[in-house]
């Protein structure tokens, strides 16, 4: 019976993935209905904390975007990239990585993609190179962001094993930075110069290549203030986590939990932005970051609930079948997370669905943290929104999806980056812990 139930889980995930977008959340809810009413399973836990954190962070980011803050960050990135067009393959993933690290969402990458394409043309670099590793960097940075739902919820799972939120960040941030650097270095050798690419030359001859740079708007004082407010909020989040850490015990009588503090601080930042920057509140919900973030909430709700319903009802069988194997070959957890995230389309959903089971099977905290970056394999199937956006925005024709589905420019940089992160994770994790 367990195999039939597993097939049902995979079937609904597959259906949701085929439809695309928010439908994977719908399919998750439908799967829960089938498993509970059709097979008598007890409904799993709804990842309430994850959803609330995503909502609060997105509310703050959308307020910052409404004030012009995201445009301000993009203009800073534009300046950096245009100063060094020949090194676009190394600089662009650094930009998208740190934007995601600070914002807790990879959807901020949309604003930088057109800049990457334009600068690549100036530097005679095929846009497929910097675009591919930049999209991957924006995805893997989620596993190192202090305010991402995946990191916060994973920190909760690790605390009973004696690993603090700060120790998780101390491992995740350097390992992912090193991995992205390695992925960028490898990407730099994957393609010939732009002026030697047949697809580009053909499109240029037909007049299909946009040459003029887009006109930039001057950054307002409100935009700069909004960015400062958001950065201060992140500092407060990390500071509170430090002061209330079980390891440091600087504050023993904790008035509010870390997760609740993140939610409250992000909502406060949004409120301060609204007042100080005098934004149009009615337009916040129409911001692109707000729409993508709320869609992510539905996806996490459905998929994570479906996964937990299956795992929680069969945890004993899973322990018996996989416990010994994962204990002996702990790196296999990264493989499992890699393929799961391909289907679940969310770092947070994959973390909620599989990490508690992995830790209960006896996987060491070091192995779990080292494998954590593998929840970012959203680039494998060429249907993730940021990947599709990169393809659509490249008018040179060098960033394209092959007819065999998996032969696209994001696959090799992504696999290499995650493999490096897992490897560095075991090394740095062994030192920190």
Rounded to whole angstroms, what are the CA distances from 8 to 38, 220, 342, 391?
11, 52, 17, 33
User: What is the separation, in whole angstroms, between the first and last Cα of the chain?
Assistant: 40
What CA–CA distance (Å, rounded) separates 300 from 298?
5
Query: Do 369 and 158 touch, CB atoms closer than 8 A?
Result: yes
* Non-local CB neighbours of 222 within 8 Å, separated by 6+ positions: 67, 68, 276, 277, 278, 279
Token pair for 135: 């999209």
Query: Do 167 and 428 touch, CB atoms closer than 8 A?
Result: no
Query: Do 219 and 71 touch, CB atoms closer than 8 A?
Result: yes
Per-residue pLDDT of the chain (433 residues; tens, 9 = 90+): 788 888 988 888 788 877 766 887 898 899 999 999 998 899 988 878 878 888 888 899 899 989 988 888 888 888 888 888 888 889 999 999 998 898 887 777 877 888 888 888 888 888 888 889 999 999 999 999 988 888 988 998 998 998 988 899 999 999 999 999 999 998 887 767 777 777 777 777 766 676 555 555 677 888 999 999 989 998 898 888 888 776 666 777 778 888 888 899 999 999 999 999 988 898 998 888 888 778 878 887 887 788 888 877 887 777 666 656 676 778 888 888 898 888 777 788 788 878 888 888 888 899 999 999 999 988 887 767 778 778 877 777 777 776 666 777 888 899 999 999 999 999 999 999 7
Query: Do 186 and 413 touch, CB atoms closer than 8 A?
Result: yes
User: What b/e sequence results for 403-425 when a residue is b if at least 16 CB atoms lie within 10 Å of its CB, and e otherwise?
Assistant: eeeeebbbbbbbbbbbbbbbbbb
What CA–CA distance (Å, rounded) separates 130 from 119?
10
How much is the pTM?
0.81
The domain spans of the chain are 2-432
Q: What angle in degrees, to the nearest 10, is found between the helix axes of 165-187 and 149-158?
A: 130
- Give the position of tokens 């609060």: 56
Q: How many CA atoms lie within 13 A of 399 on its CB side?
A: 31
What CA–CA distance (Å, rounded) separates 258 from 262?
6
Rounded to whole angstroms, what are the CA distances from 140 to 159, 403, 418?
22, 26, 8
What CA–CA distance (Å, rounded) separates 9 from 183?
33
What CA–CA distance (Å, rounded) separates 201 from 61?
40
Question: Which letter does DSSP use for residue 306 in this model?
Answer: H
pLDDT of residue 403: 64
What CA–CA distance (Å, rounded) separates 69 from 54?
19
Rounded to whole angstroms, what are the CA distances from 426 to 175, 325, 429?
9, 18, 5
What CA–CA distance (Å, rounded) separates 33 from 193?
53
What CA–CA distance (Å, rounded) separates 209 from 117?
11
Neighbours of 339 (CB within 10 A): 13
Best CA proximity match to 14, nearest among 385, 383, 322? 383
């Amino acid at each position: 019976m367990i195999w039939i139930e597993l097939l049902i889980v995979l079937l609904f995930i597959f259906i949701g993935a085929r439809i695309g977008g928010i439908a994977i959340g719908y399919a998750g809810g439908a799967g829960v209905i089938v498993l509970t009413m059709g097979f008598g399973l007890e409904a799993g836990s709804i990842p309430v904390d994850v959803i609330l954190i995503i909502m609060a962070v997105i509310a703050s980011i959308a307020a910052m975007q409404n004030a012009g803050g995201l445009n301000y960050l993009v203009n800073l990135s534009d300046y950096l990239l245009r100063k060094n067009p020949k090194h676009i393959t190394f600089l662009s993933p650094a930009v998208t990585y740190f934007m995601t690290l600070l914002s807790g969402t990879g959807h901020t990458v949309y604003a930088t993609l057109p800049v990457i394409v334009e600068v690549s043309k100036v530097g005679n670099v095929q846009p497929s190179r910097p675009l591919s590793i930049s999209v991957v960097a924006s995805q893997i940075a989620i596993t190192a962001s202090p305010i991402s739902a995946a990191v916060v919820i994973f920190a909760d799972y690790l605390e009973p094993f004696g690993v603090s939120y700060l120790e998780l960040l101390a491992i995740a941030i350097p390992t992912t930075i090193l991995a992205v650097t390695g992925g960028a270095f490898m990407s730099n050798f994957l393609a010939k110069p732009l002026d030697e690419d047949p697809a580009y030359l053909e499109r240029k001859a037909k007049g299909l290549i946009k040459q003029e740079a887009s006109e930039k708007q001057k950054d307002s004082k409100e935009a700069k203030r909004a960015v400062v407010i958001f950065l201060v909020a992140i500092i407060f989040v990390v500071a509170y986590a430090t002061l209330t850490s079980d390891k440091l015990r600087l504050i023993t009588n904790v008035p509010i939990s870390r997760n609740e503090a993140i939610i409250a601080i992000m909502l406060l930042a949004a409120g301060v932005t609204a007042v100080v920057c005098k934004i149009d509140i009615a337009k916040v919900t129409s911001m692109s970051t707000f729409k993508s973030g709320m869609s992510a909430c539905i996806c996490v709700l459905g998929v994570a609930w479906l996964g937990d319903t299956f795992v929680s009802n069969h945890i004993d069988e899973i322990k018996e079948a996989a416990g010994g194997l994962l204990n002996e070959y702990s790196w296999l957890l990264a493989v499992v997370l890699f393929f799961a995230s391909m289907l679940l389309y969310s770092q947070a959903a994959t973390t909620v669905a599989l990490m508690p089971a992995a830790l209960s099977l006896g996987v060491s905290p070091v192995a779990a943290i080292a494998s954590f970056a593998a929840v970012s394999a959203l680039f494998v199937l060429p249907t993730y929104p940021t990947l599709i956006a990169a393809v659509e925005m490249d008018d040179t024709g060098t960033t394209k999806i092959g007819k065999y589905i998996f032969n696209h420019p994001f696959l090799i940089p992504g696999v290499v980056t995650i493999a490096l992160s897992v490897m560095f994770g075991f090394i740095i994790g062994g030192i920190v812990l």
